[in-house]
Chains A and B, each alone.
Chain A
């Protein structure tokens, strides 16, 4: 597999095959992210096309000091924000305080007997998670997806979203708590 920076240099010189290789490398993680964000496969595929076109058009502005994947997902995240703005979907702003921030007290571990994840088969749990994902605020869903679906590090997510690492860790935790509550509620 070619290094991203080599492929980008070749693409910048007009090598179309190089950019196609970039698409082939990132199409799956990008569609996974967009699919979980939109809840619709077809919309995710359309958005993925638009995002690759945007990336191609602004390839000159990419700096190899950063990872290409975080640069691409920054474009994708901005695309989702534009989409929510157009559709006027209320997403909880990540700049607003949320219960459980670092300054807020946290609950102690609760006794849960037995947990939903131990009661059901993995396939059913997955379906329940997909369902629950649709019901949590989009801004939290995004951080959860970047961390647990796309498996970005907290530092990479902080770079994509332009947030402090501590805030990202806290919000991913909050997203998981929201999901757990949803899952417990429907079990």
Chain B
């Protein structure tokens, strides 16, 4: 009679064997004091293994985790939900208008379509004009900067470097004075 394998004893203890296997093990245990001792040994180990004390969790743990979670949950398809609900709202409004005024839905849709097209047309023209104006302003600024640079080059060619430096310092000081003056005027305006 060969003794039971330790892994079999383990599964028996844990109730993991099926009926036939369990009966077989129990029959062997009745006849074998060595395996009975080994089983008791394993039972004692298992009890000890499963009795390890819990590790203390501080009382404010859950609150500390929640404090690290953003206030609002981001939904994966939030934009889609917004689009669907927006469309739904528009359709409901149209239907409501139709029910209240009795106007045909096709007529309402045509009027809304015209209004939207008219608004889009005006917006496109406005945007085009703003872009054109910005282009002209940028061109003018670039031409001015080029002329200033050129003038500075011609000016410095006729003078010694020390004199050029002095002129630049004076120009800088003058700009500062102008800025301070403007600020003072503005603040006087605020007081009055």
B45-53, B85-93, B117-125, B168-176 - interface stretch: B45-53
Is B27's beta carbon under 8 Å from chain A? no
Residues of B near A19 (CB, < 8 A) are: 66, 69
Is A73's beta carbon under 8 Å from chain B? no
Given A56, A110, A169, A180, which contacts B45 in the complex, CB threshold below 8 Å?
A180
Residues of A near B38 (CB, < 8 A) are: 109-112
A63-71, A87-95, A117-125 - interface stretch: A117-125
Q: How far is the CA of A16 from the CA of B65 in the complex (A)?
A: 11
Residues of B near A130 (CB, < 8 A) are: 52
Q: How far is the CA of A106 from the CA of B68 in the complex (A)?
A: 50
The reply to whether A31 and B34 form a contact with Cβ atoms under 8 Å apart is: no
**Given A109-B3, A109-B38, is A32 in contact with B54 using a C-beta cutoff of 8 Å?**
yes
Is B5's beta carbon under 8 Å from chain A? yes
The reply to whether A117 and B41 form a contact with Cβ atoms under 8 Å apart is: yes
The reply to whether B61 and A126 form a contact with Cβ atoms under 8 Å apart is: no
A1-9, A74-82, A147-155 - interface stretch: A147-155
**A interface: dominant SS:** helix
Q: How far is the CA of A31 from the CA of B69 in the complex (A)?
A: 19
Is B6's beta carbon under 8 Å from chain A? yes
Residues of B near A180 (CB, < 8 A) are: 45
Q: How far is the CA of A122 from the CA of B48 in the complex (A)?
A: 7
Q: From A124, which residue of chain B is reached at the shortest CB distance?
A: B48
The reply to whether A173 and B55 form a contact with Cβ atoms under 8 Å apart is: no
Residues of A within 8 A of B (CB): 11-12, 14, 16, 19-20, 23-24, 27-28, 31-32, 35-36, 41, 44-45, 48-49, 52-53, 56, 60, 106-112, 115, 117-118, 122, 125-126, 129-130, 144, 148-149, 151, 154, 169-170, 173, 176-177, 179-180
Residues of B within 8 A of A (CB): 2-7, 9-11, 16, 34-35, 37-38, 41, 44-58, 61-66, 68-69, 72-73, 75-76
7 A-B pairs whose Cβ atoms sit less than 8 Å apart in the complex: A27-B62, A31-B54, A48-B65, A49-B65, A109-B6, A148-B49, A179-B49
